[in-house]
Amino acid sequence: MKEVIKTLKPYVPEASLEEVKKKYNLSRLVRLSANENPYGTSQAVYKAVEAVIRQGGNYYPDGNASALRKELAAFYKQPEDRLVIGTGLDELIALICRVFLQSGDEVLVMDPAFSEYAFNSEIEGASIKKVPVNKDTGHIDVNEIIKAVTDKTKLLWICNPNNPTGVYESKACITNLMAQLPSDVIVLMDEAYLEFTCQEEAPSALPLLDRYDNLIVMKTFSKAYGLAAYRVGFVAASVKLANYMQTVRLPYNVNTISQVAAQAALGDQAFLHKVVKANDEERRKWLAFLSKVAIDHYDSQSNFIYMRFEEAEELADYLLQHGYQVRRGLQPHWLRITIGKADDNQAIQGYIKEFLGE
């Protein structure tokens, strides 16, 4: 077996809501620890899924996800053969590492970053170099990234907006990074939360694919589209890189129900806009609240906020006792809270004030 696996700590997925409710004896629990969509799922998805379930389950799914591929290509203005569709970005992160890494390679990740990048890179025998984000602003430091590149660097993982900081990097910043980076370093631009960004009109790095063959843009239906349970994500890359990934991925990775659900979700842009607008309004209120009570935090352009609090563990316990689960354990003294619905945000802010003795 791969020796490195004996040294890795597994990713611990969220416990089920029922489990946590039972453990803490709660009648209501709101999970704000996994950046899920609190506004549910588009009604169009319910209808589409109901119809497909009635067709039975005896045939394999369309291995190429052809109908979904066609609609994604049209929506995102990308040729179909640039797309690789998977069971959430989790599968595609693992696939990218499997395809592009071998023992002895180096991989650059930001610090802090989504843990799956380093985890899957290490499984393939790569060593991880962490490039800290600016401590005060959470922004990446392009000069430090370029300095960290060596002959062995194969992958650079950037998440925009970043998880857990929520900080968005402008297109000018990403363009500057791409221009300075050697063309043999593959850049993974994880845009899992990009739909929530309201700072720029067209914030995606997708148009840069026409200029850079070493760029892979990653997107998911789990967040703004509210389909986390269905597990659908995709990447867009040069045809050459996409073909390498297509060669290695499992033949029937995305099941029929998920393909249909994603198509229906993509077709209901009104739902997406409603979610993004509500999130933006709530985000503004959260950021104003945190500034008012003087809790350090980053300027989020996502559906979560990362905040520093000396007694983070105690505050997380206090919120849990009141039915709100937030994400802890990412860095000492930091909590990440998914932006919930208005009533819940107001309630949590009330509990935070109570905790602060205000």
Ligand X SMILES: Cc1ncc(COP(=O)(O)O)c(C=O)c1O
Residue whose CB is less far from ligand X, 208 or 228: 228
**Min dist. Cβ of residue 311 to ligand X (A):** 26
Residue nearest to ligand X (CB): 88
**Min dist. Cβ of residue 220 to ligand X (A):** 3
Cα diameter, the chain: 60
Residue whose CB is less far from ligand X, 121 or 220: 220
Smallest CA-to-CA distance from 300 within 283, 313, 321 is with 283
Smallest CA-to-CA distance from 324 within 291, 356, 349 is with 349
How many whole angstroms from its chain centre is CA 120? 15
**Min dist. Cβ of residue 293 to ligand X (A):** 26
Residue whose CB is less far from ligand X, 112 or 323: 112
Residue whose CB is less far from ligand X, 96 or 290: 96
**Min dist. Cβ of residue 244 to ligand X (A):** 20
**Min dist. Cβ of residue 358 to ligand X (A):** 32
**Min dist. Cβ of residue 212 to ligand X (A):** 20
Residue whose CB is less far from ligand X, 153 or 220: 220
CB atoms within 10 A of CB 219: 27
- List contacts with ligand X (CB under 6 A): 35, 88-90, 114, 159, 163, 190, 192, 220, 222, 228, 233
Q: Residue 208: what residue type?
A: L
Residue whose CB is less far from ligand X, 11 or 46: 11
Residue whose CB is less far from ligand X, 13 or 56: 13
